[in-house]
Amino acid sequence: MSESMVQVRSVTKVYERGKQKIEVLHGLTLDIPRGDFVALMGPSGSGKTTLLNLIGGLDKPTSGEIVVGGSRIDQLSSGQLAHWRAHNVGFVFQFYNLMPVLSAEANVELPLLLTRLSAAQRRRNVAVALQVVGLADRAKHKPRELSGGQEQRVAIARALVSDPHLLVCDEPTGDLDRKTAEEILGLLQVLNREHGKTIVIVTHDPKAAEFARRTLHLEKGQLLEQAA
Amino acid sequence: MTRSGFVIANLFRKRTRTILTLLSVIMAFLLFGLLQSVNTIFNAGADFVGATRLMVQARVSFTSPLPLSMVPKLEAIPGVARVAYQQWFGGVWQQNTPLIMFSLDPQRYRDVYPEWVMSDAQWQAFASTRTGMIVGKQLAGQLGWKIGQKIPIASNIWPQKNGSKAWTFDLVGIFDGKDEEWKKRTNLAFIQQDYFDEANQFGVKGRTNFFILKLTDAGQARAVSRTVDAMFENSPDETKTQTEKDFNISFVKQIGDIGLIVRWILFAVFFTLLLVVGNTMAQSVRERIPELAVLKTLGFPDGSVLGFVLAEAFALCLCGGLLGLALASIGGAMIEKGTGGQFQLRLDVSVWLIGIAAIVLMSIAVGLLPALRARRLRIVDALAGR
C-alpha cells in the first residue's frame, strides 16, 4: 500500500459567490496510498465534499497540484477530465443519482457507452457488477421499484463496472437506515480488501468511518489529524 | 442499451406530456402538408400552359358573358391564328359530385388545344352530336363512364327551358393529355355550345365567358392583347386580355392570395408549435439537471450531453413531423376520393422535402437553448442544486 494513488499538494480552492470569495481549502496536502480506504470527516463547510470533488476530477483547484493514479488532473482540460473520469474513477452519491427512466442494468451499463466494448461484452460486465453487489436478480427493475439500499448497490455497481482503481463516495450511507448502511459499508470494505479498490468516502457518521482503514478530519479547510 | 435507446427512454419520462406535445407536432405538420398541397394546386395551373394562347374575358368579370359576334373581329387581328371560346356550365353528377364542365365549339376548341388527345372519330362524333359530351380520361375512370352512355347531369346555374335542372348528354368521346402535366388535368367535361345555347332557360344565346386566342407567335402576345382591349374600349363589352398563365393566376387570386394566406397560417401554427415544444424541452432539461450532471460525472463530455438533448428534440419533431405528413398524405387521398378527383390534394415530393427541412430547423430551434444549457452545466453546482 506504499505507492500513492492520490497526491494532493498545497491545494487551495476558492469559490466566488457573486462578489464574495470563499476560500474553502487552504493549502491542503494529502497522500492516499493505492488500496487505502479513507474516511473524510468534519463539520459542515469544512471542505470534505470539495476535497472529494477535486480528487474525483469533478472540479479544479484554484492553486496546488493533484495527482491521481499518476495523472496531473489539475492540468487537464474539461474534455480531458471527462475522459479521465470515465476510465479512472467511480462515483457514489448520497442520493444514488440513478436515471429513473432506466432499469438497474441499463443504469449500470451507462458508463460503458463511453467504451469500445461490444453490446455482448457490456452485458457481461454489467452482469458481473450486479453480481458483485448482490443484485443480479433485480437487473430489470427500475430505481423506483428498488429500496434505498438496493438503489445504492446499483449506484456502486455503476461505479465499478468500468473497473476503476479509485472509488469516491459522498455520504454513501447518509440516506439509509443503520442496518442497510452497514451492508453498504461492508460491501465497500469487500471492494477495498478483495478487489483492491482505493476508496475515499465523505461521512458525518463515526460508525461509518469505522469501516475505513483510516479517518482524516477536516476543519475550516485544513487537515487536522490522521488517525489510524 | 444504446445511446439512442437512452434518448428515447428520456423522451418518454413524462409520457402524458410527451404524447400531448407529439400530438401538437402531428397536428402542425398535418396542417402544413394539407395547406402546402392546396398551395401547390393553386400555383400549378400557371406553370405548364402554353405561351401562345391569350384569354379574353369581360373587363368587369368573367361572369359577365361576351357576345360570340366578337369572334370574327378577334380572328381578323394580325397574329391571331384561331379563336375558341368556352362557357362555364357547372354540372353536378348524381347528388354531390361537382364537375368542371364547359360548353364550347368542338372544332375551334380542338384547333386551339392540341394538348388534348382524342381520336378523329370521337372529335367528329362530338362535333356532329348536338347532345354530345366528351370527358377527360381521369374523370371517366373515376365515375366509371363509358362511350355510348347517356349521362344525366344537373346544373344549379342553368335550368332547361322547361324549368328542369336535369340535362342528359351522350358520351361520345374520352380524351387524354399529351403529357404527364396534361394527363393530370383530364378531370374536365365538355359539351356543345350550340345545344347549350338553344336549351338553356335564360336565353343567353350567343354569349360566352371567355375567348381563347391562339397566336401565330408567342412574341406577339403583348401587342395582340393591347389591340384586343383597345378594339373594344368604350363598347358595352370591354375586355381584359391576358396570357393563359396570367389568367390562371388571376383566376385563383379572385379567391385571395392563397400562397400568402397559407404562409400566414403556417407561420402562426409553427410559431405556436415552437413555444409548445420549446417549453417542453426547456422544462424537461430543467427537471433533470442533476441527472445531466451525473452523465458528465460518469465521463460523458459536454458535446455528448448537448447531443443527447438535441437528439431528444429531433426525435420528438421527427416522429411528430413524419406522422403529421403521413396523415396529410392519407387525408389528402381521402379528400381526393371524396370529391371524385376534383380536389387533388396529393403531397408531392417538394412538400415532403420542405416538411423534412422544417423538422430539422424546428428541432434545432427548440432544442438548441436547452442543449446549450445542459452543455454549460457545472457538475459541482448542479449536484449541489445551485
Nearest beta carbon to residue B13 from set A83, A87, A101 = A101
The C-alpha of B370 sits at a distance from chain A's nearest C-alpha, in angstroms, of 19
What is the predicted pLDDT for the residue at A9? 93
Set of cell numbers at residue B362 = 424546428
Nearest beta carbon to residue A86 from set B1, B10, B298 = B298
Chain B residues closer than 8 Å to A109 by CB: 1
Q: Which one is the CATH code of A4-227: 3.40.50.300, 3.50.50.60, 3.40.640.10, 3.30.230.10?
A: 3.40.50.300
pLDDT in tens, chain B (386 residues): 889 999 999 888 888 999 999 999 999 999 989 888 877 776 665 555 566 899 999 998 888 889 999 999 999 999 999 999 999 888 898 877 888 899 999 999 999 999 999 999 999 999 999 999 999 999 999 899 999 999 999 988 888 888 888 899 999 999 999 988 888 889 899 999 988 888 887 766 788 999 999 999 888 888 999 999 999 999 999 999 998 888 877 766 666 667 788 888 888 888 888 898 898 889 888 988 999 999 999 999 999 999 999 999 999 999 999 999 999 999 888 887 776 665 667 788 888 999 999 999 999 999 999 999 999 999 988 887 77
What is the predicted pLDDT for the residue at A226? 44
In whole angstroms, what is the distance from residue B366 CA to residue B81 CA?
A: 59
Coil/strand/helix, residue A62:
coil
Nearest beta carbon to residue A97 from set B10, B294, B301 = B294
Nearest partner of B145 among B131, B134, B129, judged by Cα: B134
Task: Give mean pLDDT, residues A161-189.
Answer: 91
What is the predicted pLDDT for the residue at A109? 95
CB B62 within 8 A of CB B209: yes
Q: Do B298 and A85 touch (CB under 8 A)?
A: yes
The C-alpha of B13 sits at a distance from chain A's nearest C-alpha, in angstroms, of 6
**Any alpha helices (H) in chain A, and if so which ranges?**
48-55, 78-88, 104-109, 119-132, 148-160, 178-195, 206-209
In the 8-state DSSP scheme, what is residue B114? T
What is the predicted pLDDT for the residue at A188? 92
Q: What is the pLDDT of residues A23-41, one digit of tens each?
A: 999 999 999 999 999 999 9
Radius of gyration from C-alpha coordinates of chain B: 29
In whole angstroms, what is the distance from residue A113 CA to residue B211 CA?
A: 73
Residue at B19: amino acid letter: I
Tell me: pLDDT of A71 over 60.
yes
Q: Within an 8 Å CB–CB cutoff, is residue B385 touching chain A? A: no
Q: For residue B305, how many other CB atoms are within 10 A of its CB?
A: 22
Task: Say if strands B100-104 and B188-192 run parallel, antiparallel, or are unpaired.
Answer: parallel
The C-alpha of B310 sits at a distance from chain A's nearest C-alpha, in angstroms, of 18
Coil/strand/helix, residue A11:
strand
In the 8-state DSSP scheme, what is residue B341? T
What is the predicted pLDDT for the residue at A95? 86
Nearest beta carbon to residue A82 from set B13, B294, B300 = B300
Q: Within an 8 Å CB–CB cutoff, is residue B6 touching chain A? A: yes
The C-alpha of B46 sits at a distance from chain A's nearest C-alpha, in angstroms, of 54
Nearest partner of B73 among B232, B242, B237, judged by Cα: B232
Task: Indicate yes or no: pTM above 0.90.
Answer: no
Phi, psi for residue A114 in degrees, rounded to 5: -90, 0
Q: What is the distance of C-alpha B358 from the center of its chain?
A: 20
Q: Within an 8 Å CB–CB cutoff, is residue B291 touching chain A? A: yes
Chain A residues closer than 8 Å to B12 by CB: 101
Picking from A58, A130, A144 by the largest number of B CB atoms within 10 A of its own CB, the best residue to mutate is: A58
Numbered residues of chain A with Cβ closer than 8 Å to any chain B Cβ: 53, 56, 58-59, 78-79, 82-87, 91, 93, 97, 99-102, 105-106, 109-111, 113-114, 119, 158
Q: For residue A23, how many other CB atoms are within 10 A of its CB?
A: 14
Residue at A54: amino acid letter: L
Residue A36 C-beta-side C-alpha neighbours within 13 Å: 23
Q: For residue B224, how many other CB atoms are within 10 A of its CB?
A: 21
Residue A227 pLDDT level (bands cut at 50, 70, 90): very low
What is the predicted pLDDT for the residue at B43? 64
Task: Find the largest Cα–Cα distance for chain A.
Answer: 52
Nearest partner of B99 among B107, B108, B90, judged by Cα: B90
Residue A228 pLDDT level (bands cut at 50, 70, 90): very low
- CA-based end-to-end distance of chain B: 31
The C-alpha of A96 sits at a distance from chain B's nearest C-alpha, in angstroms, of 10
What is the predicted pLDDT for the residue at B335? 82
The domain ranges of chain B are 3-45+257-383, 60-237
Set of cell numbers at residue B262 = 397559407
Q: Within an 8 Å CB–CB cutoff, is residue B379 touching chain A? A: yes
In whole angstroms, what is the distance from residue A156 CA to residue B169 CA?
A: 86
Q: What is the distance of C-alpha B184 from the center of its chain?
A: 12
In whole angstroms, what is the distance from residue B386 CA to residue A209 CA?
A: 28
Picking from B377, B379, B381 by the largest number of A CB atoms within 10 A of its own CB, the best residue to mutate is: B379
Mark residue B139 as left, alpha or beta (left: phi above 0; alpha: psi -120 to 50; beta: remaining).
alpha
The domain ranges of chain A are 4-227
Picking from B294, B306, B377, B381 by the largest number of A CB atoms within 10 A of its own CB, the best residue to mutate is: B294
Chain A residues closer than 8 Å to B299 by CB: 82-87, 111, 114
